[in-house]
Amino acid sequence: MGRQAAGRVLLQRVQYLDLARKVVGIGSVGTRCWMLLLVGRDEQDPLVLQIKEAQASVLEERLTASPYATHGQRIVEGQRLMQAAGDIFLGWVHSEEEIDGGAHDFYLRQLWDWKTSIDLETITCRGLAAYARACGWTLARAHARTGDRIAIAAYLGAGDNFDAAVAQFAAAYADLNEQDHRSLSA
């Protein structure tokens, strides 16, 4: 049984309890988002799904048309390509019902708010380097899964030109952030 089929089986075993609107982060400001509370055996067996609006990609007007029927499907299929093991509840829906004046696309996923990150106050230089390697490996793996890995490798080459360019960009961006912070503080 595939992930999608397993998700459907599990969803048949839960029932709706509540729905709440959620205010979303920086990149999603202005999009519609809800938290859907479902329960299994009883209220001690909750499942929380996020229903998030899927809008057109900012790149869409400059690229060829998406091969997907909806923006939600585009986002979901992109996530499935990049992730080695994804959310079994990840899916999309197109709503023809008028919400705030028209039809909309959404994608669904399990809310997993147990995210964690490094503690910038206590991490050592060695720990930060290990964390950066893990992030770089994960990002490179996702790109290799979704793009032409041979073309990407050929573009990057065997030398360290790309590494140096990324490091130079990161340093320049850090300088810009510091300058912006000084301006904001003033």
Instruction: Tell me the per-residue pLDDT of 36-56, one tens digit each, with 9 for 90 and over.
Output: 999 998 888 899 999 999 998
Domain total of the chain: 2
Q: What percent of the chain has pLDDT over 70?
A: 95
Neighbours of 51 (CB within 10 A): 19
Decide if 161 is inside a domain: yes
Specify whether 99 is located in the same domain as 145: no
Say whether pLDDT at 19 is over 60.
yes
Specify whether 95 is located in the same domain as 139: no
Q: What is the pLDDT of residue 96?
A: 82
Amino acid letter for position 174: A
Amino acid letter for position 72: G
Specify whether 130 is located in the same domain as 104: no
Domain residues for 96?
3-110
Neighbours of 111 (CB within 10 A): 16
In this prediction, residue 146 has a pLDDT band, given cuts at 50, 70 and 90, of confident
Distances (CA, A) of 19 to 79, 108, 123: 25, 13, 39
Report residue 110: phi and psi, to 5°: -70, 135
Q: What is the pLDDT of residue 66?
A: 86
Q: Kindly state the average pLDDT of the residues 137-156.
A: 82
Q: What is the pLDDT of residue 115?
A: 66
Least confident span in 45-49, 147-151, 162-166: 147-151
Q: What is the pLDDT of residue 186?
A: 94
Say whether pLDDT at 1 is over 60.
no
Average confidence score pLDDT of the chain = 87
Of 97 and 44, which is predicted with more confidence?
A: 44
Specify whether 142 is located in the same domain as 99: no
Decide if 152 is inside a domain: yes
Please say which residue of 110, 144, 164 terminates a domain.
110
For residue 184, how many C-alpha atoms fall within 13 Å in the half-sphere facing its CB? 6
CA-based radius of gyration for the chain: 21
Q: What is the pLDDT of residue 176?
A: 95
Say whether pLDDT at 113 is over 70.
no
Decide if 118 is inside a domain: no
In this prediction, residue 2 has a pLDDT band, given cuts at 50, 70 and 90, of low
In this prediction, residue 174 has a pLDDT band, given cuts at 50, 70 and 90, of very high
Does the predicted TM-score (pTM) go above 0.75?
Answer: no
